[in-house]
A = this chain, B = another copy of it.
Amino acid sequence: MITRINHIAIVVADLDEALKTYQDGLGLTLRKRMVMPEQEVEIAFLPAGESVIELIQPITPDSGVAKYLAKRGEGLHHICLEVDDVQVTMEELAARDMQLLSETPIRAAEGHGVFVHPKSSHGVLLEFLQPYGEEA
């Protein structure tokens, strides 16, 4: 069911500054950047093999990501595991008593995803995602 790590999300305070570091300092390449108004964030996508490192900057003070940044500072936010079928995955996770953060898949930058509460996964915010274009 899990085919790969789709992305690793890192919360940053200033996307321009972080991109300088991740490109010029660490040697990654920017594929694209986009504003996601619904999530109140701007995201930059830097591929690493079959996965992507996503730098996420909140663009309002009230989003979940903004509050995370204010409380914990910059750093790792979540891991996203890619699956073939997010609906089936949700049913399997719920049947195994994993606590999900939504009752239906939510629309993300890369596909439809569902988050597992960190309480269910030893402190890690985990997303399961079915990419767009691969829906049954």
Contacts and interface: CB of A to CB of B under 8 A. Distances in A.
Contacts of A22: 121-122
Interface stretch (A33-41, A91-99, A105-113): A91-99
Which of under 10, 10 to 19, 20 to 34, or 35 or more describes the interface residues of A? Answer: 35 or more
22 contacts: A2-B27, A2-B28, A4-B48, A4-B49, A4-B50, A5-B49, A8-B8, A10-B123, A10-B124, A21-B122, A22-B121, A25-B97, A25-B121, A26-B98, A26-B116, A27-B92, A48-B81, A49-B50, A49-B51, A51-B51, A53-B79, A74-B122
Interface of A: 1-5, 8, 10-13, 17-18, 21-22, 24-28, 48-51, 53, 55, 73-76, 79, 81-82, 89, 92-93, 96-98, 116, 118, 120-124, 126
